Amino acid sequence: QSALTQPPSVSGSPGQSVTISCTGTSSDVGSYNRVSWYQQPPGTAPKLMIYEVSNRPSGVPDRFSGSKSGNTASLTISGLQAEDEADYYCSSYTSTNTWVFGGGTKLTVL
């Protein structure tokens, strides 16, 4: 149950696009389209932003999109806004009937 690998930090200016990667293995990300992404502003509970690799729950802006290639999933935020500044986590279902999170990525809006 090793954590998925995310970059510790990314940054972008308002209006730009940023992409956060999430690398796992053939036992998790690579084998299942069961990757989720979460947004967590400081001091708050996480919020589901993407499920099943690329699906957005109701209410999540379409500026947020997800994709996957092989063992790596990605979250792209386009038209960056100040309110997007937060920690972002990926998660995947695994072959051992468990789940695993990434280490988290801090997004800074410059």
Among 18, 36, 39, 109, binds other proteins (CB under 8 A): 36
Torsion, CA 14, CA 110, CA 39, CA 34, rounded to 10? 70
Contact string (CB under 8 A) for other proteins, positions 58-87, x = contact? -----------------------------x
49 vs 95: CA distance, rounded Å: 23
108 binds other proteins (CB under 8 A): no
Tell me the two tokens of residue 10: 């990314």
User: Candidates 10-18, 23-31, 39-47, 71-79 — which segment interacts with other proteins by CB under 8 A?
Assistant: 39-47
Contact string (CB under 8 A) for other proteins, positions 3-22, x = contact? x-------------------
- 3-state DSSP: the chain helix, strand, coil percent, rounded to 5? 5, 50, 50
Please check whether residue 104 is in contact with residue 4, taking contact to mean a CB–CB distance below 8 angstroms: no
Using DSSP's 3-state secondary structure scheme, residue 105 falls into strand
102 binds other proteins (CB under 8 A): yes
Binding site for other proteins (CB under 8 A): 1, 3, 32, 34, 36, 38, 40, 45-48, 50-52, 55, 57, 87, 89, 91, 93, 96-104
